[in-house]
Chains A and B, each alone.
Chain A
Amino acid sequence: MTASTRRRGTGQRVPVALLVPAALGLLFLVLPLGGLLLRTPWTSLGPRLTAPGVLTALRLSVQCATLATLLCLTLGVPLAWLLARVEFPGRRLVRALVTVPLVLPPVVGGVALLLVFGRRGPIGGWLDATFGVTLPFTTTGVVLAEAFVAMPFLIIAVEGALRGVDHRYEEAAATLGANRWTTFTRVTLPLVAPGVAAGAVLCWARALGEFGATITFAGNYPGRTQTMPLAVYLALETDLEAAVVLSLVLLTVSVVILAGLRDRWIGGP
């Protein structure tokens, strides 16, 4: 974890049996990106980027993905801790339930969210009747939909990291007078920080690209609920090149942000 223990390239030969599938895997992931670049209308790029709505959708996407990630961190890290550290009946079931949003088609996830948080849903109905708050078709709804779909990525990463931490560090903290909460914040959390960071990155990336649950739960309205993926999808209906440009913008922004964060986390003190 410290700079002194980081391994540098050892100059060892990489086995061909690993190199070939690795190279194919990379190609497989990168070629579609190349396809996008090939179809990019470079000459009309400027006007397309400054077209009304593009920047709005981009800003909304980044805001919502970030808020969704914060929501996931707030709720997901404690849940991961519970799954990793506390024995309770039905823990296996809970662990399986946590992965449900991964398996569920996002559109179905969106419908499920509507059934609970929608105008006629038990919680949504109560919120509406009590506070006059409605979630569907609002930016909050976008954040909720993205968090629903992205949270498992965070939980799974953090739980794995927690399982990898020697729980005797927590015992040592207890003998030094730390209660469970202090132990969690002062010892456990710093120890799993890399795992939390990795989980948050996955979570953010998933939230940024979220489409199905968002359009189903939050609908599509420019400036309020229309994130980049929704804009891309609708652009695809009429104008392939516009869709390509929007995708490229989304990709560039996410790659820049993720690469920047990664350097900061891994190269930091």
Chain B
Amino acid sequence: MTPPLLDGHLVVDRAGFRLDVRLRVAAGEVVALLGPNGAGKTTALRALAGLHPLTAGWLRLGGVELDRPDARRFVPPERRPVGVVFQDYLLFPHLSARDNVAFGPRRQGLSRRAARQRAADWLDRLGLAEQAGRRPGQLSGGQAQRVALARALAVHPTLLLLDEPLAALDAGTRLDVRAQLHHHLTDHAGAAVLVTHDPLDALALADRLVVVEDGRVVQEGDAATVTTRPRTDYVARLVGLNLHRGRADGRRVRLADGFAVPTADRLDGDAFVVFPPTAVTLHPDRPGGDAPHTWPATVAGVHRHGDHLRVRLTGLLDTAADVTPAVAAGLRLLPGQQVWASVAAGDVGAYPVGP
């Protein structure tokens, strides 16, 4: 196996917070750092850019050591082959779009003319030829985002960093820009790390997801694995699944006293069980027949969720069920009400807790 282009163990201590993230990114790969606010994603990005030195660990990019506290080695941001697209772009307000993009090439030693030519080329590629002479204040949000991308790419970075690149855009623009961004990220030959709290951005743009919570990696994998096999409540919520932990013995996973779900494959030991809220059916009385995956539950709350109603259940299992308004009307769902819940065996996924 060839060594990854980016290889890092990012450890940063800040007042009351420790980031400890192992990160490998191959050339041409796009990795999303996904996590809730305050998880340490931005700190990780700043450490990669050199805007925040590591407390411990190391960071190598293309075989070059960029940061290694125990060897007192630190390459400052201006000497790293890194391009950054900042959350609110941080386009220099006193420079035109072209001069913003030409800023990096100029610093790399290109003549003013050559730098402007390169900037014009990049703006052209991003469909911004007409806006080249405008100041950032005269650009729309989507245009500004693309100028920021052009500015970061114009230095031909080995590592491209994007901090919540779509967060500042309205919903309509976001779809367009996301598609374009995906296109340009695919073209980028180096490594790319994307920081986001939006699973949609992560799934659409990244080849691999690294989920960070409380400064640690809690899950890592491609989009399919993370969406079907979440390992924390946060990830499960992001991908819209009920996640439970139980103990498997062969073909069943016991989730709670007297309640177990069947598994498709043989499984032993500690296991996660997931099923979508839409797979849960609610009944006013205990359904007939010998249904082992039926359990009594208490309604904790009901709220709209798209064209469904999402019912929060407590009792044996804390879980969510999506029902149609018609079903809800038939059940007269109110908080505190006792119901019976069942889940279709075919919708249940189970996998071991251990790696």
User: Using Cβ atoms and an 8 Å threshold, which residues of chain B touch A43?
Assistant: none
Question: Would A191 and B93 be within 8 Å (CB), given that A178-B78, A182-B107, A186-B103 are in contact?
Answer: yes
Question: Would A191 and B94 be within 8 Å (CB), given that A175-B83, A177-B107, A178-B107 are in contact?
Answer: yes
Interface majority SS (helix, strand, loop, mixed), chain A: helix
A175 and B93: CB pair below 8 A?
no
Interface check B76, CB cutoff 8 A: yes
Contact of B76 among A5, A174, A176 (CB under 8 A): A174
Q: Separation in Å of the A2 CB from the closest CB of chain B?
A: 5
Q: How far is the CA of A20 from the CA of B243 in the complex (A)?
A: 67
User: Using Cβ atoms and an 8 Å threshold, which residues of chain A touch B104?
Assistant: 176-177
Q: How far is the CA of A30 from the CA of B155 in the complex (A)?
A: 56
User: Using Cβ atoms and an 8 Å threshold, which residues of chain A touch B152?
Assistant: 175
User: Using Cβ atoms and an 8 Å threshold, which residues of chain B touch A4?
Assistant: 137-138
Q: How far is the CA of A173 from the CA of B49 in the complex (A)?
A: 12
Interface majority SS (helix, strand, loop, mixed), chain B: mixed
A188-215 residues with Cβ-Cβ distance < 8 A to B are: 190-191, 193
B151 and A2: CB pair below 8 A?
no
Interface check B92, CB cutoff 8 A: yes
A43-73 residues with Cβ-Cβ distance < 8 A to B are: none
Q: Separation in Å of the A269 CB from the closest CB of chain B?
A: 10
A173 and B135: CB pair below 8 A?
no
Nearest chain B residue, comparing its CB with the CB of A193: B94
Contact of A176 among B94, B103, B135, B137 (CB under 8 A): B103
Question: Would A177 and B137 be within 8 Å (CB), given that A171-B77, A182-B107, A186-B103 are in contact?
Answer: no
B103 and A175: CB pair below 8 A?
no
- CB-defined interface of A147-189 with B at 8 Å, one 1/0 digit per residue? 0000000000000000000101101111111110010001100
- Total count of chain B residues near the partner, CB < 8 A: 27
Q: How far is the CA of A269 from the CA of B79 in the complex (A)?
A: 34
Interface check B82, CB cutoff 8 A: yes
Q: Separation in Å of the B277 CB from the closest CB of chain A?
A: 41
- Total count of chain A residues near the partner, CB < 8 A: 22
Which of A2, A177, A179, A187 counts the most chain B CB atoms within 10 A?
A177
Interface check B86, CB cutoff 8 A: yes
B95-144 residues with Cβ-Cβ distance < 8 A to A are: 95, 103-104, 107-108, 135, 137-138
Contact of A5 among B83, B95, B137, B155 (CB under 8 A): B137
Q: Separation in Å of the B12 CB from the closest CB of chain A?
A: 16
Interface check A259, CB cutoff 8 A: no
Interface check A31, CB cutoff 8 A: no
Contact of A168 among B77, B86, B137, B155 (CB under 8 A): B86
Contact of A175 among B49, B95, B137 (CB under 8 A): B49
Interface check A14, CB cutoff 8 A: no
Interface check B84, CB cutoff 8 A: yes
Q: How far is the CA of A176 from the CA of B110 in the complex (A)?
A: 13
B155 and A177: CB pair below 8 A?
yes
A175 and B82: CB pair below 8 A?
yes
A1-40 residues with Cβ-Cβ distance < 8 A to B are: 1-2, 4-5
Q: How far is the CA of A173 from the CA of B104 in the complex (A)?
A: 8
Q: How far is the CA of A2 from the CA of B139 in the complex (A)?
A: 13
A176 and B107: CB pair below 8 A?
yes
User: Using Cβ atoms and an 8 Å threshold, which residues of chain B touch A172?
Assistant: 84, 86, 90, 92
Q: Separation in Å of the A235 CB from the closest CB of chain B?
A: 46
Interface check B334, CB cutoff 8 A: no
A-B contact pairs, 10 of them (CB 8 A): A1-B137, A172-B86, A173-B103, A175-B50, A175-B84, A175-B152, A176-B103, A178-B78, A178-B107, A190-B94
Given contacts A168-B90, A174-B77, 18 further A-B contacts (CB under 8 A): A2-B138, A5-B137, A174-B51, A174-B78, A175-B50, A175-B51, A175-B82, A175-B84, A176-B107, A176-B155, A177-B78, A177-B104, A178-B103, A182-B107, A186-B103, A190-B94, A191-B92, A191-B94
